[in-house]
Amino acid sequence: MRMLLLAALLALSPALQAQKLEKATFAGGCFWCTEEAFEKLGLGAGAVVSGYMGGKLDNPTYEQVSTGRTGHTEVVQITYDPAKLSYEKLLETFWLNHDPTVSDRQFCDSGSQYRPEIFFHTPEQKKLAEASKAKWEKAKPFRQPIVTPITAAGRFWPAEDYHQDYYKKEPVRYRFYVTGCGRYARLDQLWGALRKQ
């Protein structure tokens, strides 16, 4: 009997492990850049996926979203183990890797499809996101107000394969884009030494 119980528990262990995983979704402008920022946390292959959220059209394409008329914004969805990486750490990474002083744009990219946003999946994530925003509103090293909204997550649509891990697949083009767009220069201007910690 004891052996049967042990076998049943072992059979369930992958499912139990899967239950520990949670989702987090952030929009920080171009998803190529947001994906790179979160993958630097060492989340593992496939844990950060570029995609679209916040619109009304089902299964949108990049071409449709890039018109700015679908209501979607470019996001990354992160699958993580909260026992190993806290949602607070994900929030900190998000804040220090986007410009929270503007809406409907990020760096050289303009349009509602580049709006920054925190999409919460649970009441706990909402509470933590609001506390994090309040903390940065007091501690921010810049004068402008923080306008990044916190919104309930909707349906996530993965982006096309060629967008996934773009910074790894096309490093030269990516570096040209991110430098030319002024992303890092603006982030350093906003957050200063906080980005080096």
What is the pLDDT, as a whole number, of residue 197?
A: 65
- End-to-end, the C-alpha distance of the chain in Å comes to 54
Domain 21-196 carries which CATH code? 3.30.1060.10
- pLDDT value at 32 more than 90: yes
Structural tokens at position 16: 């139990």
Its pTM stands at 0.89
What is the pLDDT, as a whole number, of residue 44?
A: 74
Q: What is the average per-residue pLDDT within 122-142?
A: 97
What is the pLDDT, as a whole number, of residue 9?
A: 41
Percent of the chain whose pLDDT exceeds 90: 85
- pLDDT value at 163 more than 60: yes
Instruction: Look up residue 97 and give its amino acid.
Output: N
Distance CA 71, CA 148 (A): 16
Distances (CA, A) of 174 to 26, 85, 118: 20, 27, 24
Taking the domains of the chain in order of start, what are their residue ranges? Answer: 21-196
Distance CA 87, CA 182 (A): 28
Q: What is the average per-residue pLDDT within 17-44?
A: 90
pLDDT tier at 2, thresholds 50, 70, 90: very low
Distance CA 192, CA 97 (A): 11
- pLDDT value at 16 more than 90: no
What is the pLDDT, as a whole number, of residue 109?
A: 97
CA atoms within 13 A of residue 13's CA, in its CB half-sphere: 7
Q: What is the average per-residue pLDDT within 169-182?
A: 96
Q: What is the average per-residue pLDDT within 51-59?
A: 96
What is the pLDDT, as a whole number, of residue 45?
A: 67
pLDDT tier at 5, thresholds 50, 70, 90: very low
Catalytic residue among 30, 33, 108, 181: 30
Percent of the chain whose pLDDT exceeds 70: 89
pLDDT tier at 11, thresholds 50, 70, 90: low
Residue 139, C-beta contacts closer than 8 angstroms, at least 6 positions apart = none
What is the pLDDT, as a whole number, of residue 43?
A: 82
What is the pLDDT, as a whole number, of residue 3?
A: 43
14 vs 173: which has the higher pLDDT: 173
Is-catalytic flag, 33? no
C-alpha closest to that of 152 among 178, 188, 184, 127: 127
What is the pLDDT, as a whole number, of residue 104?
A: 96
Residue 8: CB atoms within 10 Å: 10
